[in-house]
Amino acid sequence: MTLILKITDEGSQYSDQLHDLLGEFGLDPAVDDELDDLSLLPAYVLAGASIRTEAHSHGTHMHVIAINVEIAEELEAAFYDALGQVLEAGDEDDEDDD
Ligand SMILES: [Zn+2]
Q: pLDDT tens, 20-30?
A: 999 999 887 76
Q: How far is the CA of 54 from the centre of ligand 1 (A)?
A: 11
Q: How far is the CA of 52 from the centre of ligand 1 (A)?
A: 18
Show the domain range for 13.
2-96
Q: Report the number of distinct structural domains present in the chain.
A: 1
What's the whole-model pTM score? Answer: 0.84
Residue 66: how many other CB atoms lie within 10 Å: 15
Q: How far is the CA of 51 from the centre of ligand 1 (A)?
A: 21
Average pLDDT over residues 8-15: 90
Q: How far is the CA of 59 from the centre of ligand 1 (A)?
A: 10
Output the CA–CA distances (angstroms, integers) from residue 7 to 36, 53, 64, 77, in the order listed. Answer: 11, 10, 10, 22
